A = this chain, B = another copy of it.
Amino acid sequence: MQQELQSIWADPRRPRIYIIDQRFLPHRLVIETITSVEAMARAIREMRLRGAPLIGVAAAYGYYLACLHAERRGLDRKYLDEAARLLASTRPTAVNLARALKRQQQAVAGTVAAERSARAYACARNLEAEEIDCCRRIGQHGLTLIEGIHRQRPPTGPVNILTHCNAGWLACVRHGTATAPIYAAHERGIKVHVWVDETRPRNQGARLTAWELARAGVPHTVITDNSGGHLMQHGRVDLVLVGSDRTTRTGDVANKIGTYLKALAARDNGIPFYAALPASTIDWELSDGVREIPIEERSAEEVRRVRGLAGRRIREVLVPPRESPAANHAFDVTPARLVTGLITERGICPADEQSLRRLFPENSPAADNQSTP
């Protein structure tokens, strides 16, 4: 079963994309078949799937479905532009989404109408393969950090890693970003134990990361988002590993709301704090994450209501008084000064512009100028 390993996959024979509808996890594994760009846009907007790399791949497949539809109905480029706008509007913070769409638009540019869907399909498949490879490499680079801590520890105890939200394979395509080093260490027989922040309001940690880790047999403990500071004060966290939804060229990390608080606690207790990210999440245009990255505000009901299993049914319960309003900022920005390092597909580097440019020289200002038309 491909869904054992991947969060999205295409049927090679038919125009069908399969996704895991993550809203029902961990209590039910629901596979959804997507056959139109509208359905893909809805899946992204309603967070049936989420996670920066996965959103990019999903948008690419969505664009492919739009090309296919245009081809069959003889629709023009205007339709494809509309489809791209629809997909782009689903999640404003995710830079991968915009980039995947740009890549698709370039892939089909200048091709005859009849070839567009084949080109878009190939482009989406390539993006998928690249994301998988990216995560695999992130896992290998991040593994060296865990090995380093493991070597310094008494051999009886596990390496304790705290993670926030879900930067696992459910957020990517395979392996995950923040989880990739954890899986790599576990496979290599290094004892690890993961503190899983539940990650309110949507509980992606408690629901998704815990589910992934349980399936992989990785020892873990679910904690409230409030707990990490206390655990760090008492030496019970060796490493903080998180993902990134958007990274500035200066190393600021926009990730799930609450990440910044964990970075502060890590700094206060001398614990290494790393963000694992494919370079596709780096926005080379941005230098000040706190000022420049727009933070998505989502429905207050996500804060007011909690979803879970009641008996055999999945239900929602209302926690605060009916009349109390709530606010739901989805992300926050961790300034680079609090980030020990960035784990990318090309290696680990300090969170600063010079180091990032050294790893990714093709994004230097000169290279930028050349690629600008």
Interface residues, chain A, with chain B CB atoms under 8 Å away: 26-27, 195-196, 198-201, 203, 206-207, 210-211, 213-214, 220-231, 233-234, 256-258, 260-262, 264-265, 268, 290, 295, 303-310, 315-321, 323-329, 331-333
**A163 CA to B227 CA, complexed, in Å:** 17
Chain B's nearest CB lies how many Å from the CB of A29? 11
On whether the beta carbons of A210 and B261 are closer than 8 Å, the reply is no
A258 contacts which chain B residues (CB < 8 A)? 224-227, 229
Give the shortest distance, in Å, between A304 (CB) and chain B (any CB). Answer: 7
Q: Which of A223, A256, A321 has the most chain B CB atoms closer than 10 A to its own CB?
A: A321
A198 surroundings in chain B (CB, below 8 A):
200, 303, 319-320
Tell me the nearest residue of chain B to A268, going by C-beta: B264
Q: A26-B321, A230-B260 are in contact. List 5 more A-B contacts (CB 8 A).
A: A26-B324, A210-B320, A222-B326, A224-B225, A307-B319
Chain A contact residues: helix, strand, loop or mixed: mixed
Chain B hits for A230, CB < 8 A: 257, 260, 295, 329, 331-333
The CA-CA distance from A329 to B232 in the complex, in Å, is: 12
- The 15 sampled A-B contact pairs (Cβ below 8 Å) are A200-B225, A200-B226, A206-B304, A211-B320, A221-B324, A221-B325, A222-B303, A222-B320, A223-B329, A225-B226, A306-B317, A307-B317, A307-B319, A315-B315, A315-B317
How far does the alpha carbon of A326 sit from the alpha carbon of B329 in the complex, in Å? 26
Residue contact B233 to A290, C-beta cutoff 8 Å = yes
A229–B266 Cα distance when bound, in Å, is 14
Q: Are A321 and B261 in contact (CB under 8 A)?
A: no
Contact yes or no, B222 A324, CB < 8 A? yes
CB distance A207 to B319 under 8 Å?
yes
Give the shortest distance, in Å, between A288 (CB) and chain B (any CB).
11
In the assembled complex, which residues on chain B have CB atoms less than 8 Å from the CB atom of A308?
Answer: 305-306, 317-319
A233 touches B333 (CB 8 A): yes
Chain B residues, CB < 8 A from A228: 261
Instruction: Report the separation of the CA atoms of residues A248 and B257 in the bound assembly, to the nearest whole angstrom.
Output: 32
Bound together, the chains give a CA A256 to CA B225 distance in angstroms of 12
By a CB distance below 8 angstroms, the chain B residues around A210 are: 320-321, 324
Interchain CB contact (< 8 A) of A260 among B229, B309, B318: B229
B206 touches A224 (CB 8 A): no
Q: How far is the CA of A201 from the CA of B203 in the complex (A)?
A: 12
- Cβ–Cβ < 8 Å partners of A223 in chain B: 303, 326-329
Q: Are B211 and A321 in contact (CB under 8 A)?
A: yes
- Whether B303 pairs with A224 at a CB distance below 8 angstroms is yes
| Residues of chain B contacted by A264 (CB below 8 angstroms) | 229, 261, 264-265, 268
Assess the B317–A206 pair: CB atoms within 8 A: no
Contacting pair B260 A224 (CB below 8 A):
no
Given contacts A222-B303, A265-B260, A332-B233, contact A315 B320 (CB under 8 A): no
Choose among A26, A195, A261, A310 the residue with the greatest number of B CB atoms under 10 Å from its CB: A261
